[in-house]
Amino acid sequence: MRHLSSIAAMLVTLAAGLAGGTALTATLLDPAHVPGAARYGVWTLWPRAGAPDADPYTVALFARRGEVAMAPSEGLALYAQRDGAGAPLSAACVYRMGGGIPPARAWTLTAYRPDGALVENPARRAGLTSAEALGGAELGDITISRDPGPGNWLPLPEQGRFVLVLRLYDTPLTAVTAALDAERLPRITRLDCRP
Amino acid sequence: MSGLLLRYSPFILGAALSSVLLHILILLVLPLVAPRTSGQLLADRAVLGDRAGQSALSVLAVSRPGAQAYPFADPAMVTALCAFDLTEGPFRIRTSTGEAFLSLAVLSPAGRVLHALSDKAATRRMLDVVLVTEQQQRALEAQDPEDEAVQELRLRMTAPKGTVLLRTFAPRPSDIAAARELLGRAECRTLQDG
């Protein structure tokens, strides 16, 4: 009898370990919590994701997403899932991105579904690039919305959650990510939402 | 209370320990077995560099909704790729560069970036890279002429197989054709040994 209860206790211990290990891994591989990520304001970035010395959490996260990481020699990718007030980005809303884009030879701003799928939109344009944007170095605000906005505009799909990725190709920032601060990165402000 | 805690402490400790062990195990195994790693997605489409010296490069269609090279692919980049296997000999990648940003990345079979360089590393608008094993590097160095500098950049690989990804910036829809043509002229081939 005593024997049986200790076997049962061992099984419970193993089951708890199995559940605990899975939960721990799932939590730490959530982009919102993963170690190795740097956060500045609304932006999350993995500066070493595309480097041979990337940490195992970052490697596992990118492998699970199926994404090819950007190498430091290529540039920097910044990801935003929420607006400046902390609300998840939703295609039902209109956003304004302001504050200028950090220095880079070229940049692109693209909207994706949270799983990395490009979004279908009536304008049939998946992103906005430095060559398309009006204003050059004096770039004004970018409107992010389903319906066309004035000036620079990134189209959104009809509905649903989305994430923004700002890619800076050939940027001096890769060498000095420690010097990055939220003040120098674009801000994302929600204007209004459809019901 | 403390008596109870003491009595169950071996089990609590055991559960915590096995949690941590399992966590580390998943973390290390995941990049190798993830069902849709970029490495696998790309390897499916890459053509192995041909020993006959022919270029074996595929230029992918530009990513758009429903047809992406890989998750989170930048639709403003034109992508070309080829697979290499160094057991057949050193592998050469050569591409000319244009005005727009261009990069070359060497990926492991699991999709990890092993080496990457941009067109800033190009000499006379040409990126010329040879992937080698340690042994192949020594063999090539023995053949190098002594009085002139080697033009190519030799990258030593620790594993023999992987994928090469060439990407160039095509910021407007009207830039895509020229970018595809540029990458289409790139060379990916296995060099003869010795």
Give the pLDDT confidence score for residue A2 in this predicted structure.
Answer: 64
Q: Averaged over A104-120, what is the pLDDT?
A: 92
| Residue of chain B minimizing CA distance to A125 | B64
pLDDT of residue B155: 93
In the structure, what pLDDT confidence band is assigned to residue B52 with cuts at 50, 70 and 90?
very low
ipTM score here? Answer: 0.85
pLDDT band at B182 (very low <50, low <70, confident <90, very high): very high
If residue A154 lies in a helix (H) or strand (E), which one and from where to where? strand A152-155
Note the pLDDT of residue A57.
Answer: 85
Give pLDDT tens digits for A7-64. Answer: 888 888 888 888 888 888 887 777 667 777 888 889 998 888 888 888 888 888 888 8
pTM for the full predicted model: 0.86
Are the beta carbons of B81 and B60 closer than 8 angstroms? yes
* Minimum Cα–Cα distance from A74: chain B residue: B118
**Distance (Å) from the C-alpha of residue A26 to the closest C-alpha of chain B?**
9
User: What are the distances in angstroms from CA A108 to CA A20, A75, A130, B169, B194?
Assistant: 40, 11, 6, 10, 45
- Pick A186 or B148 by higher pLDDT: A186
Of A60, A129, A132, the CB nearest to B30: A60
Classify B150 as helix, strand or coil.
Answer: coil
Contact, B64 vs B78, CB < 8 A? no
Cα separation values, A53 from A46, A77, A111, B66, Å: 12, 17, 29, 33
> Average pLDDT over chain A, rounded to whole?
85
How many CB atoms are closer than 10 A to CB A27? 12
**Is the pLDDT score of B62 beyond 70?**
yes
**Range of lowest pLDDT (A129-133, B41-45, B112-116, B132-136):** B41-45
pLDDT for residue B4: 75
Q: Please tell me the distance from the alpha carbon of residue A64 to that of residue B29, in angstroms, as a whole number.
A: 11
pLDDT in tens, B8-36: 888 888 888 888 888 888 888 877 776 66
B19 reaches A (C-beta below 8 A): yes
Confidence of residue B105 (pLDDT cuts 50, 70, 90): very high
Asked if B126 has any chain A CB less than 8 Å from its own CB, the reply is: no
Q: What is the DSSP string of A50-100?
A: TSTT--HHHHHHHHHHTPPPPPTTTEEEEEE-B-TTSPBPBTTEEEEEES-
- Which chain B residues are closer than 8 Å to A171 by Cβ? none
Give the rounded percent of residues in chain B with a pLDDT score beyond 90.
34
Mean of pLDDT values over B93-119: 90
* Tokens linked to A22: 């899975």
* Rounded Cα–Cα distance for residues B189 and B185 (Å): 13
Question: Average pLDDT for residues B171-185, to the nearest whole number?
Answer: 92
- In angstroms, the separation between the Cα of residue A68 and the nearest Cα of chain B is 6
Q: Which of A99-103, B91-95, B127-131, B172-176 has the lowest mean pLDDT?
A: A99-103
**In B, residues 158-187, which contact A (CB 8 Å cutoff)?**
165, 169, 171-172, 175
Query: For position B12, what pLDDT does the model report?
Result: 85
- pLDDT at residue A1, as a whole number: 56
Say which range, A95-109, B99-113, B180-194, has the weakest mean pLDDT. Answer: B180-194
The per-residue pLDDT for B149 is 77
Question: Per mean pLDDT, which of A73-77, A107-111, A181-185 is the most reliable?
Answer: A107-111
In the prediction, which pLDDT does B50 show?
47
Strand blocks (E) in chain B? 58-59, 77-85, 91-96, 102-107, 113-118, 126-132, 153-156, 161-169, 187-190
Candidates B113, B129, B155, B174, partner chain A, best to mutate (most A CBs within 10 A)? B113
Query: Highest-confidence range of A90-99, A144-153, B11-20, by mean pLDDT?
Result: A90-99
